[in-house]
Amino acid sequence: MSRPKILLTRRLPDAVQARAQRDYDATLNPGDDLMDAATIAARAAGMDGLLVTATEAMNADAIAALPDGVRIIATFSVGYEHIDLAAAKARGIAVTNTPEVLNDATADIAMLLLLAAARRATEGQAMVRQSTWSGWTATDMLGAQVTGQRLGILGMGGIGQAVARRARGFDMEIHYHNRTRLPAELEQGATYHETVRDLFAASRFLSLHCPLTPETRHVVNAESIEWLPPGAIVVNTARGPVVDDEALIAALKSGRLGAAGLDVFEGEPKVNAGYLDLDNAFLLPHMGSATVETRDAMGFRALDNLDAFFAGGTPRDRLA
């Protein structure tokens, strides 16, 4: 019996590719070249399934262009805004993602961003690397205290809850807003706010963990920044477009906000040039899930979903 044919649209970790080749007639992308919709459609000829990543825009046109034989799209990501689920469903194409397995790694990066932004790590590292540090003084490089402060979490899913667990180690007071309130055993004493505005008003630190939806696009904007306490610090490991870059940059320049820690950007890998000269912006290149263990786990989760689908079952993480 022939094995299902799948296309991997990006180069994935070695262990993931080895398993894909073991269990499937897998076509790899060893050069890791970015594929547009036309290229994906051409390379998908004869394929039964696709294993894509968040860099492939599987919109309605891209899905319409896929060969008839493609029956499933497994994405190597927890987010799925790059896939038009309605278009996939209309064509009878299943879609899966990889939730849960990247919670801890992303939460670790969120805490790194929070601490680095609060303690002026961008400035401090530049002083050391550029040999401009003149020595210790009692009044130099004073940052914001993290321990005991209020942390607002927008989006209390798996990653948000993982951040809350870490923040409790710093005795932070946890506040959150979510589409639905968590059960008490998951809240772990956190304070729930029914509106985004109420959460922002309570947040000395704000960490973003919401999915990208029409409602959350630019949820941090010129108006909502005014709801935050003066000097608040904003951290984003969710998706770049949940932040209005121009509004955030203006608030950081004016001192309305104290600092920001960002791992994701609208239009990435391009980054709004306004961030680059800001000492109070700590910037990372979308590396929230970038550990060997996590990226392997993401690939294995995607393959688990493909295994279940081609075995005639229901994939654990089916979205459409």
DSSP string, 213-231: -TTTTT-BSHHHHTTSPTT
> What percent of the chain lies above the pLDDT cut of 90?
99
pTM for this one?
Answer: 0.95
What confidence category does residue 266 fall into, taking pLDDT thresholds of 50, 70 and 90?
very high
Q: Which CATH superfamily is domain 103-283 in?
A: NAD(P)-binding Rossmann-like Domain (3.40.50.720)
* CATH number for domain 5-101+292-310, candidates 3.40.50.150, 3.40.640.10, 3.40.50.720, 3.10.450.50: 3.40.50.720
Looking at the chain, which residues constitute the CATH 3.40.50.720 domain(s)?
5-101+292-310, 103-283
Q: What letter represents residue 302's amino acid?
A: A
Q: Which of 82, 168, 286, 318 is catalytic?
A: 286
Is residue 268 flagged as an active site residue?
Answer: yes
How confident is the prediction for the chain on average, in pLDDT?
A: 98
pLDDT reading at 26 higher than 80: yes
> Rounded distance, CA 109 to CA 92, Å?
37
The secondary structure of 35-96 as a DSSP string is: --HHHHHHHTTT-SEEEE-TTS-B-HHHHHTS-TT--EEEESSS--TTB-HHHHHHTT-EEE
Q: Which of 81, 187, 226, 268 is catalytic?
A: 268
Query: Mean of the pLDDT values across residues 228-248?
Result: 98
What confidence category does residue 169 fall into, taking pLDDT thresholds of 50, 70 and 90?
very high
Q: Which of 177, 239, 295, 301 is catalytic?
A: 239
Distinct helix (H) and strand (E) counts, the chain:
12, 12
What confidence category does residue 291 fall into, taking pLDDT thresholds of 50, 70 and 90?
very high
pLDDT reading at 1 higher than 90: no
